[in-house]
Structures are given as structure tokens and as C-alpha cells.
């Protein structure tokens, strides 16, 4: 139960970050059962892409945004 509450808090924080970054928020079902969270950064030549993912059992919350590189 404590893990589920912790993941709900993480999901809420991810949604707030998505709101402030004007990002894409994708909520989708999962075939199976997973719990946890993920942060990933892809670096391209002209921009960076960030991904936050929170897995709540059978629901996945993904927050994706892009930012221009400085320099």
C-alpha cells in the first residue's frame, strides 16, 4: 500500500512537471502488471527530448517534452 501511495505521488509530480513544461501527457493501459517510474533523456543535434514515465499497475503515465540545446 505504501508503494502504491508513493507511486501516486510520483505520478502527480510528473503531471505537474508536464503542465509547467507544456509537454505531451499520455495515459494508456498496459497489458500486464508493472510498477515503477523512469526518467530518460535523448540528445539530438538540435534538441533534447525528455521522458518521464510512471507505471501504476495496469496504467502508464508518460510525460514527454523537447527543449532546444544551448550553444
- The greatest distance separating any two alpha carbons of the chain, rounded to the nearest whole angstrom, comes to 46
Overall pTM > 0.95: no
Taking only the tens place, the pLDDT of each residue in 26-62 is: 999 999 999 999 999 999 888 999 999 999 999 999 9
Give the pLDDT confidence of 4-34 residue by residue, as tens digits.
899 899 999 999 999 999 999 999 999 999 9
Sorted by sequence, the CB contacts under 8 Å of residue 15 that are 6+ apart come out as: 25, 61, 63
Amino acid at each position: 500500500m505504501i508503494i502504491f501511495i508513493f507511486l501516486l505521488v510520483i505520478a502527480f509530480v510528473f503531471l505537474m512537471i508536464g503542465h509547467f513544461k507544456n509537454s505531451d501527457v499520455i495515459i494508456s493501459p498496459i497489458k500486464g502488471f508493472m510498477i515503477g517510474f523512469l526518467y530518460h533523456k535523448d540528445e539530438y543535434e538540435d534538441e533534447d527530448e525528455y521522458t518521464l514515465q510512471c507505471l501504476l499497475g495496469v496504467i502508464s503515465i508518460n510525460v514527454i517534452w523537447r527543449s532546444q540545446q544551448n550553444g
